[in-house]
Structure 1
Amino acid sequence: MMNKIKILANIFSKITVCVLLASAIYMTVMWGLDAQISVMILWQILLVSAVCSIPILMYPDEEGKEVSKQGMIARQIIYFIYANCAVLGLGRAFGWFYFSKAKMVVLMEVLIIGVYVTVNLIVYVNDHMVAESMNQKLEEMRKRKDA
């Protein structure tokens, strides 16, 4: 359970940073650099990030069962649809955009995809680096054992 909480906190922080960056881009494009915004946007960003982080609990951790490649792809698709609906739904409720304004919706969708890809890329690179480090240590252990 503690491992799941660590994973959740890790993903939440990555999502929050990316959503903050996406929000800055969105507000700059839609309202300009001198836009006046409420402090509520900070709480809204945290809420959106939390809502988008929760489904990460459906992924197995190191102690969990292995999931097939098709299973992981299906989970990624489901997670993307969930995150997309969550951001669009909460964003609309918060007044971030209006469905009647195509430019706003298109930019939101581009940013949602950007955040999704960025977070997944960061996680992949981090996991790859950990795996490489473990493989290197295993190789060093084998060399010492053979010597």
Structure 2
Amino acid sequence: MTTIITKTITKICIPLVILFSISLLLAGHNNPGGGFIGGVMFASVISLMYVVFGLKYVKTFFNPDWGKWFGFGLILASFTAFAAMAFGHNFFRSAVEFVHLPLFGEIELVSAGLFDLGVYFVVIGSLLFIFKNVGDDNE
């Protein structure tokens, strides 16, 4: 059983850690971070939610199929790796495009970002699939 303080702190941490996770994902191809560590951060806060509130309670309002997240991420990462070959380039070749947006200025779009997104979903899906199945008592 957890205390009201633990539950309150967890409710505050969930959106902050998810935003930090997305920040790590987006910074990954140029700075430290990326899909793996961003996915681990996301999985850790969802795991914290499972531990603090209980798996049964969380499943009443938030019960995604983590295996599908894993599958989507694997398909996206694989597609990104093989897509360069369709254009006559080497396996895993990254493409870079600079786009000018009126409010944001020049933004760099890199195909490696799609690979990072795929890794992000693979890590989230695999860790939470394992955690949920280990914690589930199969009532």
Normalised by the shorter chain, which TM-score bucket?
0.3 to 0.5
Indicate the structure (1 or 2) with the bigger Cα radius of gyration. Answer: 1
Larger relative helix fraction: 1
* TM-score (ref. length: structure 2): 0.33
